[in-house]
Amino acid sequence: MIILSAKATSEFFKKHDLSFAERNKTETMRVHGYDQGSLALAPYGSYWRVLRRLVMVDMLDLRKGQNFQSNNENNGDFWEMFMAGTETTSSTIEYALTELICNPESMTKAKAELASVIGANRNVEESDIDNLPFLQAVIKETLRLHPPIPFLIPRRAIQDTKFMGIIFPKHTSSCECLGYWKDPDVWDNPLTF
């Protein structure tokens, strides 16, 4: 089942979230997740609740102190997250620049806003962001048209479920596409920057 509209997505998450609480698992995920032993992949139910409690107790255990992870593990995690974040950030900036080049009026307006708020001799700082509403709109519009991650993690029905008048049998996979960001029922010109 592929969900494309904003209305269907809203109904899915508000009324059928629990019915589709399971995640699809590939063989690789099964092997690396210790046969569904991870909190992210565990089937919803009592097993998942026990895992959640164990993780919370383990994370909040004050006796562990700095022994939670070694510095090498922390460094590895940092670099992995840094590289993953760099890729999505750079692709988003690339799309934003492409959209601004293709829309010279928007480019002119963004440059004028930056010149009036920032000036020519200093860099943008986090405290300036509230004073740059057009630049914020450019970034949001770029993320709407070119999301760095196009799908949410697919889910699987844990029981037969009636959704929008159709009965979906147990184990039906759902894919909540972010195509509703381009839904003409929500946006006047969904493909226009």
Assign residue 61 a region (left: φ > 0; alpha: ψ between -120 and 50; beta: otherwise): beta
How far is residue 152 CA from its own chain's centroid? 7
Question: What pLDDT is stored for residue 107 in this prediction?
Answer: 95
Q: CA torsion 88→93→94→99, rounded to 10°?
A: 130
Residues contacting 14, CB < 8 A, separation 6+: none
The domain tally of the chain equals 1
Q: What count of Cα atoms within 13 Å lies in the side-chain half-sphere of residue 60?
A: 6
Residue 186 lies in a domain: yes
Residue 93 CB neighbour total at 10 angstroms: 12
2 belongs to a structural domain: yes
Range of the domain at 11: 1-23+154-193
Amino acid at 189: N
Whether 180 is in a domain gets the answer yes
Domain-embedded: residue 177: yes
In a domain, 165, yes or no: yes
Whether residue 96 is contained in a domain is answered as no
Confidence band of 175 (pLDDT split at 50, 70, 90)? confident
In a domain, 143, yes or no: no
pLDDT bin (cut points 50, 70, 90) of residue 145 is confident
Residue 103: what pLDDT? 94
> Could you tell me the two tokens for 167?
């009965």
In whole angstroms, give the CA distance from residue 76 to residue 78.
5
The pLDDT of residue 70: 61
**Is 152's pLDDT higher than 90?**
no
Reported as a pLDDT band with limits 50, 70 and 90, residue 67 is low
Helical H segments across the chain, by residue range: 6-15, 27-32, 46-60, 71-102, 104-117, 133-145
pTM: 0.58
Asked if residue 99 is part of any domain, the answer here is no
Helices then strands, counting H and E runs in the chain, come out as 6, 6
The residue ranking higher by pLDDT, 59 or 178, is 59
Among candidate residues 123, 122, 97, the one with its CA nearest the CA of residue 110: 97
Q: Which pLDDT score is estimated for 188?
A: 83
Q: Over the chain, what is the mean pLDDT?
A: 80
